Amino acid sequence: MKRLFIAIKVIPEQSTINVYKSLRKSLYAQNIRWVDPDNFHITLKFLGDTYVEDIPIVNNLIGNIVADKRSFDIELANTGIFGSRYKPRLIWFGCSNCQQLNALADDLFSNLDDIGFSRDRQNFIPHLTIGRISLIRDKNLLNEQIAKYKNVEFQKVKIDKLHLLESNLNKDGPNYKIINTYKLK
């Protein structure tokens, strides 16, 4: 079994790195596991533990879906949290101009559902996770910092390929291995 997910890798520009570093610096005393910018990605679908013999089926399905799709751009923008203001779990950068991304994700969800990878219960919200929150001692500080970047556009991201990734968890954080890459037109 392999722990798999489908994602778009994001190479952060300096403007994105600057906001990331500013948040990290201002929240240094909080218990947050920060994502290494080299691992920035937008998860389209977490497949979870997948039998090795099912990987070719998943590969073909994703390949068929993207075969007729054209590349497009999204805007990496906005900062927010998942969870509540009182019990935040995750800090993220969002995106705007993502109608095509939502349509691509919906196409993936429908087709993957047909082969046994159920749709998620929650709505798809395209985002790039930048930090996983273990404990926030100063919730007001967190909310102030998130509000500073709530409506900021960081960079344009060209969506021209998807990746099937394997996630291996270890004490230093997750390690991602590309299983396959699927290019859009």
Question: Per the structure, how many domains does the chain have?
Answer: 1
Active site residues: 41, 127
| pLDDT tens sequence across 71-88 | 999 999 999 999 988 899
So what's the pLDDT on residue 111? 95
| pLDDT tens sequence across 23-82 | 999 999 999 999 999 999 999 999 999 999 999 999 999 999 999 999 999 999 999 999
56: domain CATH number? 3.90.1140.10
In 67-162, which residue ranges form alpha helices assigned H by DSSP? 99-114, 139-148
Contact assessment for residue 60 and residue 148, using Cβ atoms and an 8 Å cutoff: no
Q: Which domain holds residue 150?
A: 2-183
Residues in CB range of 78: below 8 A, 6 or more apart: 93, 94, 95, 96, 149, 150, 151, 152
The confidence band for 178, taking pLDDT boundaries of 50, 70 and 90, is: very high
Cα-based distances in Å from 23 to 79, 91, 145: 10, 10, 7
